[in-house]
Amino acid sequence: QKEVEQNSGPLSVPEGAIASLNCTYSDRGSQSFFWYRQYSGKSPELIMFIYSNGDKEDGRFTAQLNKASQYVSLLIRDSQPSDSATYLCAVNFGNEKLTFGTGTRLTIIP
């Protein structure tokens, strides 16, 4: 069974601090990894994708991938109240489909 695990939260972070979201997956051979943000009542929107070990930065967002540990994370720097949402980790296990985690609910406290 190919699985993606996330801590459901809620995760509360003060405004301006760094929010750290974590995700583990079951298949060591997985190739591509995605982070989506979903506001309540809305559909997911793509934040970042990462394929290679290491860090990938885009503005305030940094994705970190460690294939040996089967672990991918998302860091949000200088957190803003508008970052409050559910963050979904998704993994492609090599069959064109994405498997989603249950999501982590993030709340930024002003």
Partner 1 sequence: GAVVSQHPSRVICKSGTSVKIECRSLDFQATTMFWYRQFPKKSLMLMATSNEGSKATYEQGVEKDKFLINHASLTLSTLTVTSAHPEDSSFYICSARDPSGSKDTQYFGPGTRLTVL
Q: How far is the CB of 18 from partner 1 (least distance, A)?
A: 25
The contact set with partner 1 (CB under 8 A) reads 31-32, 34, 36, 42-46, 49, 88, 90, 92, 96-98, 100-103
Tokens of 63: 């994705």
What six digits make up the tokens of 13?
A: 């972070």
Q: Can you read off the two tokens belonging to residue 107?
A: 């709340």
What is the nearest approach in angstroms of partner 1 to the Cβ of residue 5? 11
Residues forming beta bridges with residue 67, ordered by sequence position: none
Question: Is residue 64 within 8 Å of 20, Cβ to Cβ?
Answer: no
| Shortest Å, Cβ 74 to partner 1 | 16
Q: Which is nearer to partner 1, 14 or 54 (CB)?
A: 54
Closer of 28 and 96 to partner 1 (Cβ): 96
